[in-house]
């Protein structure tokens, strides 16, 4: 089991960008994620610059709605961001999925 205990919100969010991809060679842009969240979640306003701040640790206390929206976009439970055990389990699953996708391409 990979040890993700103690990872920051930025680390966990960057892990999602690195492993949940539109294809094996490209990751989603902050702008794409922000636009997709704004389109699919009417009550959540989020910008690419806010996502950039979260990914770089400049902001580290997002609202629950922002965490839920980010988790929803990447297809993980919100607990991924706040629970070490959930983060460990989900990271292992994401890494296995990414490896399988890379192998198929």
Q: Give Dmax (Cα) for the chain.
A: 38
Q: Give me 101's structure tokens.
A: 């996708």
The per-residue pLDDT for 71 is 96
The per-residue pLDDT for 41 is 84
The structure's pTM equals 0.87
The per-residue pLDDT for 105 is 64
Q: What is the spatial distance between Cα 57 and Cα 66, in angstroms, rounded to a whole number?
A: 15
The per-residue pLDDT for 90 is 92
SS (H, E, C) 45-69: CCCHHHHHHHHCCCCCCCCHHHHHH
The per-residue pLDDT for 1 is 38
Q: Under DSSP, is residue 23 helix (H, G, I), strand (E, B) or coil?
A: strand
Please list the pLDDT of the chain residue by residue as tens digits (105 residues).
Answer: 344 557 899 999 999 999 898 887 899 999 999 999 999 987 899 999 999 999 999 999 999 999 999 999 999 999 999 999 999 999 898 888 877 777 776
The per-residue pLDDT for 25 is 83
The residue written with tokens 């959930």 in the block is 86
Are 62 and 9 contacting, i.e. CB atoms less than 8 angstroms apart? yes
Domains of the chain: 9-104 (1.10.260.40)
Q: Quick one: 60 exposed, middle or buried, by C-beta within 10 A (0-12, 13-18, 19+)?
A: exposed
């Amino acid at each position: 089991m990979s040890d993700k205990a103690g990872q920051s919100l930025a680390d966990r969010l960057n892990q999602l960008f690195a492993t949940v991809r539109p294809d094996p060679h490209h990751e989603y842009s902050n702008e794409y994620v922000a636009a997709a969240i704004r389109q699919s979640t009417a009550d959540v306003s989020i910008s690419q610059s806010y996502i950039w701040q979260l990914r770089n640790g400049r902001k580290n206390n997002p609202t629950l709605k922002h965490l839920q929206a980010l988790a929803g976009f990447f297809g993980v439970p919100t607990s991924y961001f706040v629970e070490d055990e959930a983060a460990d389990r989900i990271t292992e699953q994401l890494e296995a999925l990414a490896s399988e996708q890379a192998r198929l391409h």
